[in-house]
Amino acid sequence: MKYFLYILRSEIKETYYVGMSNNPDRRLHFHNTDDRKAHTSRFRPWKIVYTQAFGTKEEAFAAEQKVKSWKSKKTLRP
């Protein structure tokens, strides 16, 4: 099974969200529709701006942690 690093961009505010999933489209739907109070619920709607496939969950998680460790959001801008 493939796992993906994904980066979402808020369409109403210049903010990004980084995550990993085996189904980024399903996660995007969740981020845009979930009723719970969460970080992503405040900045809807979200759009996927980047995905990268990995062979294992561990590789995708390591990539997610690497991106999250970057100091500047400017690095994420396409």
pLDDT digits (tens, 9 = 90+) for 45-61: 999 999 999 999 999 99
Mean pLDDT of the chain: 90
Statement: residue 65 has pLDDT above 80: yes
Phi, psi of 22 (to 5 degrees): -90, 0
Which tokens hold the place of 50? 């980047």
10 Å CB burial of residue 31 (0-12, 13-18, 19+) is buried
pLDDT, greater one: 22 or 70: 22
Write down the pTM of the prediction.
0.86
